[in-house]
Amino acid sequence: MSTTIEKPEIEPSDTGQADTGQSATEQLEARQSTTETSDLDESLESNLVDGVDVDALHELVEYIPETKKLSQNAQERQEILAFFSPDRLAWKNLDWIVVTWMVAMHVGAVAAFFFFSWQAVAVAVVLHWLTCSIGICMTYHRCLSHRSLRLKWPAKLVGTFFGVIAGEGGPLRWTATHRVHHGQSDQVGDPHSPLEDAWWSHLWWMMLKHPKRKDDLLFKHYVPDLTKDKMLVFFEKTFPLWLWGTGLTILYFGGWSMFLWAFCFRMVVAYHSTWLVNSATHLWGYRNYETTDESRNLWWVAVAAYGEGWHNNHHAHPRLARAGHKKWELDPTWWAISFLRFIGQAVEVDDRIPEASKS
């Protein structure tokens, strides 16, 4: 499935995009061929949510000649992809609130070693698991972005809360950006492809300003299903309050040692483990499946990111709730999903495994 939009003014050679020698049409045909030969025909199970085809929200955008007249939707999709261009990385486009926050968290993480306590470290470890695995990996990623499962109340509320205090953004923006990534993976418009630059994909891409226009278009085109959820919209609008509130609460009740370890150090480790999924797993590792991007499986990222490092598996079959497809590909987030399904809090779990990977 694809949407055709006008080719942007910046050519792939100007952005550092790898030249595959294929036209956009050939790349699209290759992707469709991969899908058709998959042992899991996911196209037959379109995930409709409130009348929205969620699978269609991750579609590849195919560029066409500039001379062709475009619909308003096509023009808006082109505008969204232009917001993610590395060419926007300039001083005037930096979000100084984000830059200051990142610097402060990293300084705090280093300072934590001068305020060491085992109690603070223990709380940091527990919060790292809750925010990264339960909040980001399970709720933001597998539940909201891909609809691999549905969380019932109160699991959805708790999971979203821990995703928010992970400090990676509100649920709508995070999910919309991730859906763009899947549609444009390692193509023009991918928000964080390391084929542009490894540091761009790991860190710099998130330093750019988020104009209101960008969020409005992202939400309209990539998360129309989530904008109907009042709880998610509430967390999106109040995201900074929850983040600051958590930090101040930890500082008030736990002192500087607890704040530096359970808030700053924990958050920095969580940041880099998430960012490694964007960068490292498109550069190094092995592949179980042929895909049209450079996604790979990398065991040490899977350890750091609670199973998300089995990235080639995920890009080949994004709708599946399991990231590890072979017996030895451990996936701690899947263990949490299995437990929640056992107690009735996770339903409609897509637990299929491709037959060829059951070894």
Predicted TM-score of the model (pTM) = 0.84
pLDDT at 236: 98
| Core vs surface per residue 132-152: b (16+ CB within 10 A) or e | bbbbbbbbbbbbbbbbbbebe
Structure tokens at 182: 């899947």
Evaluate whether 163 touches 135 at the Cβ level (below 8 Å): yes
Residue reference for tokens 């597998």: 142
Evaluate whether 123 touches 254 at the Cβ level (below 8 Å): yes
Structure tokens at 16: 């550092």
Biggest CA–CA distance in the chain, Å, is 64
Q: In angstroms, rounded to a whole number, what is the distance separating the alpha carbons of residues 133 and 34?
A: 30
Q: In angstroms, rounded to a whole number, what is the distance separating the alpha carbons of residues 205 and 222?
A: 19
pLDDT at 34: 43
Side chain identity at 198, as an amino acid letter?
A: A
pLDDT at 159: 98
pLDDT at 16: 35
The vertex-306 CA angle with 303 and 310, nearest 5°, equals 75
Other beta carbons less than 10 A from residue 237's beta carbon: 11
pLDDT at 27: 45
Q: In angstroms, rounded to a whole number, what is the distance separating the alpha carbons of residues 6 and 64?
A: 5
Burial class of residue 61 (count of CB atoms within 10 Å of its CB; 0-12, 13-18, 19+):
buried
Domain ranges within the chain, ordered by starting residue: 87-357
pLDDT digit string (tens) for the chain, length 359 residues: 444 334 333 333 333 333 444 444 344 444 444 443 344 544 334 455 555 666 666 666 655 555 466 788 888 998 999 999 999 999 999 999 999 999 999 999 999 999 999 999 999 999 999 999 999 999 999 999 999 999 999 999 999 999 999 999 999 999 999 999 999 999 999 999 999 899 999 999 999 998 999 999 999 999 999 999 999 999 999 999 999 999 999 999 999 999 999 999 999 999 999 999 999 999 999 999 999 999 999 999 999 999 999 999 999 999 999 999 999 999 999 999 999 999 999 999 999 988 766 55
Other beta carbons less than 10 A from residue 226's beta carbon: 23
